[in-house]
Amino acid sequence: MRTNRPLSYLSSFFLPFPTMFSDMPFPSKRQKTSPDKTSDFFEYLPDDLLLSILCKLSATASSPSDFINVLVTCKRLNSLGLHSLVLSKASHKTFSVKPQNWCDSVHRFLKHCADAGNVEACYTLGMIRFYCLQNRGSGASLMAKAAMNSHAPALYSLAVIQFNGSGGTKSDKDLRAGVALCARAAFLGHIDALRELGHCLQDGYGVKQNVAEGRRFLLQANARELAAVLSGSNNKRPWNLPVPHPRLRLGTGTGCPLLSDYGCNVPASETHPASKFLSEWFEIRSGSLGPGMRLCSHWGCGRPETRRHEFRRCSVCGVVNYCSRACQALDWKFRHKAECAPVERWLNDDGEEVAGEDGGGDAVMMANS
């Protein structure tokens, strides 16, 4: 039977909103976050957006000043600019410092970039420590860190160290290891490694001699060199018309002809900042080399000897010396071919008479190899 019961038992379900939730904690009212007329809009930009912008800047900077000018703008940009994500993306031009500006702060910045996983910084700092600061172990480990990340210049530099036994004695040479590192760098498309591997195969140096395979690698190096020239944005000359090199004649040797031998005036490729640093470092510190030690005669290399008679000497004139066959081939093409004057006998650094092709042993390199 229906009764007219009061509806008081339903009152608990329809209590006013404040009364029902009076015992529940409510957050305080959010303050207005929109900037007023006197505030700085920059403060309201999120960090991840600024990090993305700084990563793009560090990766595309054409000089260190492009990046440093941003870091000195304010404390926030300075803090975010030294973030590991930003430093890991920095290009080699971001830290291409000149030797006369080298100091502890530059060394620390390169170290921070290397610790952040920047392979270019690992390679650059490794070269500086190994050759300039003569910290062989630390420099080699940094280059190895870059090489493990498939950095072709680091692989090739380690190959040169193995070929010459740099930092050790003559018995520390490991030709097989040098060829293996060179092959890995050549697989990644490194032109100097392709050229070095081609000469090793042609001469049977550290690997079984295979003239045909060596010639193939040299041709591939020339093809990549030409492709790099054609893809350069600063070349305004029409390359479909060969232009004879002003200083060099067409080669008639039995080795693989280089691009200048085809009648093309091919400019030298851009020098890596690490090699440029080495060249300028020893140029302004001429006394930093030990007695009787020499620099590689190829202008784009900059590597010094770490012991006397480490590099190979031209077997024709005995004036120039090279850390590798690739440097010898490049210097022969651009400079030495026009200057080399054959002599029957020449003196070494001790004043002792050395034969042209037979007396120098490993210190002799054929001029047109």
Asked whether residue 145 is assigned to any structural domain, the reply reads: no
For the chain, report the end-to-end CA distance as a whole number of angstroms: 117
Give the three-class secondary structure for 321: strand
Asked whether residue 2 is assigned to any structural domain, the reply reads: no
Asked whether residue 140 is assigned to any structural domain, the reply reads: no
Asked whether residue 292 is assigned to any structural domain, the reply reads: yes
Give the total number of structural domains in the chain. 1
Asked whether residue 325 is assigned to any structural domain, the reply reads: yes
CA 114, CA 120: separation in Å to the nearest integer? 8
Asked whether residue 7 is assigned to any structural domain, the reply reads: no
Per-position pLDDT tens, the chain of length 369: 455 554 444 344 334 434 443 444 444 444 445 555 555 677 888 889 999 999 999 999 988 888 888 888 888 888 999 999 999 999 988 888 889 989 999 999 999 999 999 999 999 999 999 999 999 999 999 999 999 999 999 999 999 999 999 998 889 999 999 999 999 999 999 999 999 999 999 989 999 999 999 999 999 988 888 887 777 645 444 444 344 444 334 333 443 445 544 445 566 667 888 999 999 998 887 666 777 888 999 888 989 999 988 998 888 888 889 999 888 888 887 788 888 877 655 455 555 544 433 333 344 444 444
Tokens of 64: 């260190």
Tokens 């339903």 belong to residue: 10
Tokens of 115: 């610790």
Asked whether residue 215 is assigned to any structural domain, the reply reads: no
pLDDT value, residue 263: 47
CA 293: distance to chain centroid?
Answer: 25
Asked whether residue 192 is assigned to any structural domain, the reply reads: no
Q: Are 121 and 90 in contact (CB under 8 A)?
A: yes
Structural domain containing residue 306 = 273-338
